[in-house]
Amino acid sequence: MVKYEPNWSHYTLYSLIGHGFCDAVTVYLAKHRPSGTNVAIKKIDLENVFTDIADLQKEIALVQQLQHDKILKFHTTFVYDHELWIVMPFMAYGSCKDIFHAYFTSGLPEQAIAYILRDTIKSLEYLHSRGIIHRAVKASHVLISASGNVQLSGLHNALSMIQSGKRLRRLHDYPASAINILLWLSPEILEQNMAGYDTRSDIYSIGILACELANGYAPFADMPVTQVASFQFIESCISKEPPQEYSRCLTWFTTSCNSSHRYQ
């Protein structure tokens, strides 16, 4: 078993393969020199990143607790100079968003959609069994390896329903970075009423992911934020996706992610 040391000198950086947050976050293809294994290294500029350091620590602690082959793991993490380095498996095909932007601009074939959804649901089943709500299930957080293994990432928005040793029935927390995941947030999270939400809110996000994979873009992507934030509007529109050229089975699956089905 390869041991990944928290030492920058053990890694050789190659090409830049991703970036975000005004380039405060960069992702590189790299090699773990002792083993010769290709890895991905996310570098976060701690002096310029907009995320609270405590939130980064929470995400790292959460991911290190999880052990599931459908969830992207962190091999090791460490700080070098003013940057946080997160060493991860290299997912050769990148995210589903990368794939349909580069090769399937009108959406993926339905068989591929079913394969990706199946494995993403497996990862959510594991998270939910541990009382964790992902809250950001979207194509850019679903990664695919060279062997075709599908893994879910993006746990910086995740929230545990277990607090003070007890599992809560409902949560009311609104994601701090909601503006970046607004299209995938469930109506019950957006509504912010006394009823709150639970793990079933992720099922809505699965429905939006299905639409995103089928169309090559997320529903409501071209609409103003103020309109998207209307949970009534979203509930009334999701049943219109995906388009008719997809099977009745996929259409049924997508509409079954509505609250009228999730909370029966």
Residue 177 pLDDT: 78
Residue 227 pLDDT: 66
Residue 17 pLDDT: 93
96-262 — its CATH code? 1.10.510.10
Q: Model's pTM, two decimal places?
A: 0.91
Please report, for the chain, the start and end positions of each structural domain, with discontinuous segments joined by +. 8-89, 96-262
pLDDT in tens, 73-105: 999 999 999 999 999 999 999 999 999 999 999
Residue type at 216?
G
**CATH class of the structural domain 8-89:** alpha beta
| 3-state DSSP assignment of residue 194 | coil
Residue 121 pLDDT: 98
CB 16 within 8 A of CB 27: yes
First to last CA, the chain: 46
Residue 137 pLDDT: 97
Which H, E and C letters describe 81-108, residue by residue? CCEEEEEEECCCCCEHHHHHHHCCCCCC
Tokens 């996929």 locate to 250
Backbone phi, psi, residue 164, to 5°:
55, 35
pLDDT tens track, the chain, 264 positions? 889 999 999 999 999 998 876 678 999 999 999 999 999 999 999 988 766 777 888 899 999 999 999 999 999 999 999 999 999 999 999 999 999 999 999 999 999 999 999 999 999 999 999 999 999 999 999 999 999 999 999 999 999 999 888 999 999 998 877 788 888 999 889 888 888 999 999 999 999 999 999 999 988 887 776 666 665 455 555 555 555 578 889 988 998 887 766 665
Residue 47 pLDDT: 86
Torsion of the alpha carbons at 22, 108, 252 and 197, rounded to the nearest 10: -20
Pairing of strands 83-89, 76-80: antiparallel
Q: For the CA atoms of the chain, what is the radius of gyration?
A: 19
Beta bridge partners of 37: 32
pLDDT in tens, 226-249: 666 665 455 555 555 555 578 889
CA distances from 9 to 17, 40, 76 (A): 20, 15, 14
| CA-wise closest residue to 90 among 7, 32, 137, 156 | 32
- Containing 159, the helix (H) or strand (E) segment is strand 159-160
